[in-house]
Structure formats: C-alpha cells, structure tokens
Amino acid sequence: MRKIWLASYPQGIPSEIDVRAYASLGEMLERSCRRFRDKTAFANMGATLTYGEFDRLSRDFGACLQQELGLLKGDCVAIMLPNLLQYPVALFGTLRAGLTVVNVNPLYTATELEQQLDDSDAKAIIVLENFAHTLERALEKTRLQYVITTQLGDLFPPVKRWLVNLVVKHVKRMVPSWDIPDAIGFRDALAMGARRALRDVAVSSEDVAFLQYTGGTTGVPKGAILTHGNMVANVEQTAAWIGTTLREGEETVITALPLYHIFALTANLLVFLKLGGRNVLITNPRDIPRFVAELKETRFTAITGVNTLFSALLDAPGFDEVRAANRGALKIAVAGGMAVQRAVAERWQQAMGVPLVEGYGLTEASPIVCSNPFDAVEFSGKLGLPVPSTEVAILNENGDEVPLGELGEICVRGPQVMRGYWNAPEETAKIFTPNGWLRTGDIGRMDERGFVEFSDRRKDVIVVSGFKAYPTEIEDVAMMHPGVKDAGAVGVPDPRSGEAVALFVVRKDPGLTAKALLEHCAKHLTGYKLPRRIEFRNQLPKTPIGKILHRQLREEAARSHG
C-alpha cells in the first residue's frame, strides 16, 4: 500500500525502526541500568529508587520466583498493584525470570479476578494487602500456587516504611481483614531471592511478555498475547517518534495512569526506562488535592493522561501554583486512551504553554499506532500519523479500502500487533482480516496528508432513522457549554426512529437546565443528532482510566425507560 503519511513526517523521523534492537525487555532493562546506574529511576511518595537499586531488586525478585518458588519459563505471574515502587520491581523480576506477566486491575471484584486468574492459569500473584481480601474470596476457584503480599510502604526507607504501613493499616484502616495461609511477604521474597542466583533464561522476541486483558471490540475480557518483540517494537517506534524532543537521562515523567493499563505501561514505564528517565509514580490520582500538591513540588518535563485527568487537573484548586512552579520545564503532554475534547485541549495549552499531543492505540497493538508530531504548536483534533513501521488502512465492511476522507474501520498492521487472543481462536479469527489487518472496532477517516481522525467506536454508533450519529461528536458539543463538567451520549430505543440520542450530563453549573443545554446543542448539531432525552447525574460510569462506559449507560437507560 502507499504510505502517504510518510510525506508528513517531521524531519529526522525514520520511516522504519529496528524491530530487533533488543532481544527482550529484560535486555533493554539491563542496558539502561548499566548506562544510568546512579540516576533516579522511580519516585513515589517522596521515596526513590536508582537504576542500580532497581536492577538489584528486580534481579532478587526474579531469583525468588525461579529458585524458591520453582516457576518455569512461560509460567504466568499476576500483578495486582497500583502505581508503587513494587510494581516495576515485580514486573521486571518476572520478565527477567523468563515468566509472563498478567496485569490485574486492583479494583476488580472477586468474580472478575477469578475469571482472569483462571483464564490465564496464573501460578503466582503479587497483591497489595489492601486488596488481599478480594483475592481470598477468589482463591478457591483458581489454580494459584503462590501468593506474595505487599504493604504500601514496603520499599520506602525504614522509618518511613514502618510509619506509612502503620498508618495505612491501623489509623486509616485501609486494609480489610484477610487470611491467606502460606502467603509470602514481598520483603521476604526479596530476601530469599538475594540469597540465590538468577538463572539465565534464553528469552527471544517470540516469547510472550504479557497476557494483557482487554474487552477488545466485544466487551468480553480476553488476554491479548503480547510478545517481547511486540513490546520492544512499540518502545522503539515511540522513541523514534519522540526524536530529539526528549534527552536521554534528563527527563522526569508524571505517571498518574495505572501501570497495569497498556497505555501507561508502554508510554511511561517502558519508554522512559529506555530513555533513562525519572518516573514519578502517582498511587492515587483520584485524590486530586494530594496529586496537585505533589505536582507543585516536582519539576516535570513530560506527563501523560486521558481527557478526564487533564480536565480534573485544570479544574483543581491550586493548579495555578503547579503552572507557576513548573514554568518552562514541561516539554510534552501526551493524551491517549480516549478521545480528547477540544475544550480541554485548548484550556491545557493556555495554562501550561504546550499542546496536548493526542495519540491513538489499543491493547492489541501494544498499544501505540498513531501520534501527532511532537513539534505541533496546537491541538489538531486528529489521532495523528501512523508511527514508524506501522500501516493504517480505513476499510469498509467488505474489507476494501475506502477513498481518502471517507469513514470506515481503522485497521492496523505492524510489528507491535499482538499474536492473538489467549485461549480464544474464534475471537482471534474475527479480529484479523484475511490480509492480516487488525480490525480495531473504531470508526475513522484518513485525510490526504495521512492524518487519521477518530469518529467513534463501531459498537457505540447511534443509528437514527438510518443516519449515523457519533457519541463523541455529541459529547464534544455538550462539553463546549460552560455549565457542563462531563457528558456521555448513547443510543436508546425509539419507536419512530429506531434509536434516539440520550445525553447524560454532570453539571458544573447547578443551575443548568435541560432546555438551555438543548438550545446550545441545536446551534452545533443537525436535528437527528440532538438529544431526545437529557438526564443530569452526579457522576458517569467510567473505566479505571476515565473512559465513559457507554454500554453501562445504555443498560441503565433501558432499565429506567423500559
């Protein structure tokens, strides 16, 4: 196919990357630890780890898994942790031991956890004590052999560790009671591993690094099989795209999105590990006052997030002080994971002086597929250009490419694309075309310069009397009203038009009425796109990274108006 986007690449960005730059993620880690040994790798709640300390601790953890627990190459190890120093140690210890990581959302219910552990056949799990009671309820129906528990402050200096763990457990009572016989403490695991040698395991680009669970295009959780080669390729693609915008060994990135999510895993943890950056881990970004307080004390050069995170920061008391404290430091702000609303992007650039650079990806592609150039001077409203060594096509329902500018399904080919879904050959067959294109389930178009524009999720499109209305467009218009804090649009059954638009809104202005909002929408939307129902809510259902759960909104609307 003709890669028209290459003509729009910034100067110096290569069209292809070396997919074999590293044999494995472990090799990448070891090389960075040698190069940046004395520099800070991670910071969390005022505690830090240098690259040298990170190297030693991850080696010790890997040796424990290998030599003490007897896990064998390819065995799955689940990690159920928020953003703590323990997370990268556990993750790279697992990978260096030749094992496969299964990332788990710590907020899962026992049923959700049981399903993921059972499907992945995980042999061991590392879990924060705060969530051990959930694991206890799921344990009987899994094949787990080993449980390693950790407390919030386990990798803090001694006095801070004892104080934090005491306050969390006994003062704030944030640890529900649990009882898991033979559970191993994280610090005990490190001590056991320190007495043993980490056996060298031959890990190639074809070996599985992650079973990364996702709802994919159907909403049913499936494990995307991501190899070391997939992940290394995506790191190299992203680093090539960054070019000279960031300098090795000199950058500080704010990591507020959970590392168990593929966006932060690749864009923050892996990319900045390669660059020798300092990664500031935010354990609970929903605690906005504490988050803002930490940002005031940190001169950061990069931050990633989703639309809702940037919006929350802009609205937070004290953010003006963050802007003042960080003046001149910030180089890039990257948004992904969900569509960025123009109103939020423009407010961010006005406040921080750099545009939100939007990118696009999905778990099945490790995840980064497209990005806007980092030399952009303003928000484009587009997903950007395919990154090096990536092909993007817009296909119709028959699998044929549509003309430039027309809507179709965004499809992807490249070295970052997964092998398939774990234990789900039928789902794998559905998501790939006969020509090897990964069907994303996203509707979009490509312009004459090769920029890809997102329209909506295929499953979320609202069909009103045969005309297609896209929730993202409706939500963007609603968010333009100064009285709106959040908005979600879904289709609901309608006897005359088949479907109609229902708009769910969280108010910023308590006095905002449905009539006033509808009048605003009528100025920007054609008739069939206008909401037939507007409901005000205190909050909208969302995923852990802030995506609106449209399916849940549809179900709630159907129940209340069935």
What 8-state DSSP symbol labels residue 539? Answer: -
Res 218: pLDDT: 47
Q: How far is CA 228 from the centre of its chain?
A: 18
Residues 142 and 75 in one domain: yes
Specify whether the CB–CB gap between 410 and 384 falls below 8 A. Answer: no
408 phi-psi bin (left φ>0, alpha ψ -120 to 50, beta other)? beta
Is 16 in a helix, a strand, or coil? coil
pLDDT for res 457: 77
Q: Does a structural domain hold residue 33?
A: no
Per-residue tokens: 144: 């787990």
Kindly write down the DSSP assignment for every residue of 422-473, as one continuous string.
TT-HHHHHHHB-TT-PEEEEEEEEE-TTS-EEEEEEGGG-EEETTEEE-HHH
Confirm whether 408 is domain-assigned.
Answer: yes
The verdict on 169 and 270 lying in the same domain is no
Q: Does 449 share its domain with 473?
A: no
pTM of the model: 0.87
Note whether residue 349 is domain-resident: yes
Q: What share of the chain is helix, strand, coil (3-state, %, to 5)?
A: 35, 25, 40
Cα–Cα distance measured from residue 208 to residue 42, given in angstroms and rounded to the nearest whole number: 25
| Residue 178 counted as domain residue | yes
Task: Kindly report the CATH number assigned to the domain that includes residue 501.
Answer: 3.30.300.30
Q: What is the pLDDT of residue 217?
A: 43
The tens-digit pLDDT sequence of the chain (562 residues) is 799 999 999 999 999 999 999 999 999 999 999 999 999 999 999 999 999 999 999 999 999 999 999 999 999 999 999 999 999 999 999 999 999 999 999 988 898 899 999 999 999 999 999 999 999 999 998 999 999 999 999 999 999 999 999 999 999 999 999 999 999 999 999 999 999 999 999 999 999 999 999 865 445 679 999 999 999 999 999 999 999 999 999 999 999 999 999 999 999 999 999 999 999 999 999 899 999 999 999 999 999 998 889 999 999 999 999 999 999 999 999 998 777 888 899 999 999 999 999 999 999 999 999 999 999 999 999 999 999 999 999 999 899 999 999 999 999 999 999 999 999 999 999 999 999 999 999 999 999 999 999 887 788 888 887 677 888 889 989 999 999 999 999 998 888 778 899 999 999 999 999 999 999 999 988 888 999 999 999 999 988 778 888 889 988 887 776 5
Are 186 and 280 within one domain? no
What CATH number is attached to the domain comprising 420? 3.40.50.12780
> Can you give the residue range of the structural domain that contains 243?
4-11+230-457
The predicted structure's pLDDT at residue 219: 54
Indicate which CATH number applies to the domain containing 155.
3.40.50.980
Rounded Cα distance between 246 and 250, Å, is 8
Residues 76 and 158 in one domain: yes
Q: Would 364 be classed as within a structural domain?
A: yes
- Fill in the amino acid letter for 57: L
The answer to whether residues 295 and 383 belong to one domain is yes
457, 473, 507 - which closes a domain? 457
Hey, which bits of 288-418 come out as E strands?
A: 302-305, 332-335, 356-361, 368-371, 385-386, 391-395, 408-413
- Collapse the DSSP code of 267 into the 3-class scheme (helix H, G, I; strand E, B; otherwise coil) and give the result: helix
Are residues 193 and 238 located together in one domain of the fold?
no
In a domain, 102, yes or no: yes
492 belongs to a structural domain: yes
Cα–Cα distance measured from residue 448 to residue 375, given in angstroms and rounded to the nearest whole number: 20
Q: Do 258 and 187 have their domain in common?
A: no
Say whether both 452 and 477 belong to one domain.
no
Q: How far is CA 457 from CA 97, 410, 440, 460, 470, in A?
A: 38, 10, 9, 5, 8
Whole-number Å distance between alpha carbons of 212 and 419 = 12
Residue closest to 352 by CA, chosen among 321, 306, 394: 321
pLDDT value of residue 562: 55
Q: How many domains does the chain have?
A: 3
Q: 478 and 452, same structural domain?
A: no
Residue 507: DSSP 8-state? E
In a domain, 32, yes or no: no
The rounded distance, in Å, linking the Cα atoms of 551 and 247 is: 42
Instruction: Spell out the long-range contacts of 22-26 with Cβ–Cβ below 8 A and sequence spacing 24 or more.
Output: 22/232, 23/203, 23/204, 23/205, 23/228, 24/95, 24/203, 24/204, 24/205, 24/207, 24/209, 24/228, 24/232, 25/92, 25/95, 25/209, 25/228, 25/231, 25/232, 25/270, 26/92, 26/95, 26/96, 26/203
3-state secondary structure of 388: coil
Q: Are residues 448 and 502 in the same domain?
A: no
The dihedral region occupied by 226, where left means phi > 0, alpha psi between -120 and 50, and beta the remainder, is: beta
Q: Is the peptide bond before 367 cis (omega within 30 degrees of 0)?
A: yes
Encoded tokens for 530: 């206008």
Angstrom distance (rounded) from CA 153 to CA 75: 28
Distances (CA, A) of 193 to 62, 70, 180, 321: 7, 12, 22, 44
The confidence score (pLDDT) of residue 315 equals: 93
Are 74 and 105 part of one and the same domain?
A: yes
Q: What is the pLDDT of residue 543?
A: 83
